[in-house]
Chain A
């Protein structure tokens, strides 16, 4: 697969190296001359100095035969233009943009970008998992955050402790995927009885997260 990476910051640098290691044909575009020289020292001839927003650069690197274009500069507006030009002018089948402002995820989708990656949102979710301010911890957003995989840790006062799985009425759009007990994943068959210290892993529609919390969390 021929992959063009636009933007040679830290993300672009290590992404390019990982893609090369995975056996892909990769080209990294960086518009700052000295930064491009620095990157070539490490990555070799896959680095090209040029502005990925300029059509002349796009032609030079053979954008029309790229399978994927990944725009990972630090500016959302540049990432948008790179992907739109790649898609509409050079008919690149798949374009992926990094978004720095998480709110731009929806706008990028509306404007025809195939996929977005929001580093801010990913880091926020990871930090939320670590600081555990809430009983329901989001593990992974799916479908742009409309559906979530969450973890609920059962404390001693949780109203479901001692109950069988089929005695607990879940919200309509929620599904228990697994119960993690003493480091082992248990499949949610009807014989499972919730115990204190269990971690319940569930799939839930984001707007029913509060209902899920009300069912599993300790009553205060």
Chain B
């Protein structure tokens, strides 16, 4: 599977290394070259320096034949815009956006984008651990119901 990851922060770099270990074809984009240090010296994937919402950069990363595009920069709007370009313009079959703001994550999930709100997932996981509860299913942690008091 050819996977493009936008954003080489903690999530992006960890995900990239893990997918490479699984034998996947990984390309990671970031706008600062120092971010790539997180990948370690023996990283086998491809690194592309540039702004991830610029088409040229996406093409350089091989968006035309990508199977998946994952946006995990620290900017919610950058992630939202880039996955929409990947989906609507380049018809990438699987796109996922990490969104910090639960409301925005919910709104775009309703519009048909696959969004993961790590804020909500993290808060629920920590809360259950704190209360000594048995950990629930991942789908329950990822759920985004606007009536939920956590949101």
Distance (whole angstroms) from the CB of A86 to the closest CB of chain B? 11
Whole-angstrom distance between the Cβ of B117 and the nearest chain A Cβ: 14
Q: Which of B12-20, B70-78, B128-136, B137-145 contacts A (4 or more CB under 8 A)?
A: B70-78
B25 at the interface (CB under 8 A from A): no
The answer to whether B101 touches A80 (Cβ under 8 A) is no
Interface residues of A in 56-104 (CB under 8 A from B): 56, 75-78, 80-81, 84-85, 88-89, 101, 103-104
Q: Which residue of A lies closest to B51 (CB)?
A: A101
**CB distance A81 to B80 under 8 Å?**
yes
With both beta carbons as reference points, the residue of chain B lying nearest to A85 in the complex is identified as: B107
- Please indicate the chain A residues that have their CB under 8 angstroms from the CB of B76 in the complex: 53, 81
Q: How far is the CA of A88 from the CA of B78 in the complex (A)?
A: 19
Cross-chain contact A110 with B89 (CB below 8 angstroms): yes
Task: Tell me the nearest residue of chain A to B101, going by C-beta.
Answer: A54
Contact of A81 among B54, B81, B88 (CB under 8 A): B81
> Pick the contact of B103 from A54, A75, A76, A77 — CB < 8 Å?
A54
* Nearest neighbor of B102 in chain A, beta-carbon distance: A55
Given known A88-B111, A89-B107, A111-B84, contact A81–B55 (CB-CB < 8 A)? no
B104 within 8 A of partner (CB): yes
Residue B53 interfacial (CB < 8 Å): yes
Residues in B with CB closer than 8 Å to A54 are 101, 103
B48 is an interface residue with CB less than 8 A from chain A: no
Most chain A CB atoms below 10 A, which of B81, B82, B89: B81
Q: Which residues of A lie under 8 Å from residue B75 when comparing CB positions? A: 77
Q: Is A187 an interface residue (CB 8 A)?
A: no
CB distance from B111 to the nearest CB of A (A): 6
Task: Determine the chain A residues whose CB is within 8 A of the CB of B55 once the complex forms.
Answer: 103, 107
B69 CB, nearest partner CB in chain A, Å: 14
Question: A73 CB to closest chain B CB, in angstroms?
Answer: 10
Q: How many inter-chain contacts with C-beta < 8 Å in the A-B complex? A: 50
Assess whether A107 is in contact with B80, with CB atoms less than 8 Å apart: no
- Interface residue count on the A side (C-beta < 8 Å): 20
Partner pick for B104 among A55, A75, A104, A111, CB 8 A cutoff: A55
A173 to B74 Cα, complex, angstroms: 48
Q: Which residues of B contact A76 (CB under 8 A)?
A: 53, 81
- The interface residues of chain A lying within 8 Å CB-to-CB of B81 are 76-77, 80-81
- A107, B111: Cβ atoms under 8 Å? no
B97 to chain A, nearest CB (A): 11
Residues of B within 8 A of A103 (CB): 54-55
Quick check: A77 and B77 within 8 Å, CB to CB? yes
Q: Which residues on A sit within 8 Å (CB–CB) of B84?
A: 80, 107, 111
The residue in chain A whose Cβ has the minimal distance to the Cβ of B55 is: A103
- B49 on the interface (CB 8 Å rule)? no
Q: Which of A77, A78, A88, A103 neighbours the largest number of chain B CB atoms within 10 Å of its CB?
A: A77
**B48-65 contact mask (Cβ, 8 Å, vs A): 1 or 0:** 000001110000000000
- Does B35 sit at the interface, judged by CB under 8 A? no
Closest chain-A Cβ to B151's Cβ sits at a distance in Å of: 11
B54 touches A101 (CB 8 A): yes
Residues of chain A touching chain B, judged by Cβ–Cβ distance below 8 Å, are: 53-56, 75-78, 80-81, 84-85, 88-89, 101, 103-104, 107, 110-111
Residues of B with Cβ closer than 8 Å to A? Answer: 53-55, 75-78, 80-82, 84-85, 88-89, 101, 103-104, 107, 111
With A53-B104, A55-B103, A103-B54 known, 15 other A-B pairs at CB within 8 A are A54-B101, A77-B75, A77-B77, A80-B80, A80-B81, A80-B84, A81-B76, A81-B77, A85-B104, A85-B107, A88-B111, A103-B55, A107-B85, A110-B88, A111-B88
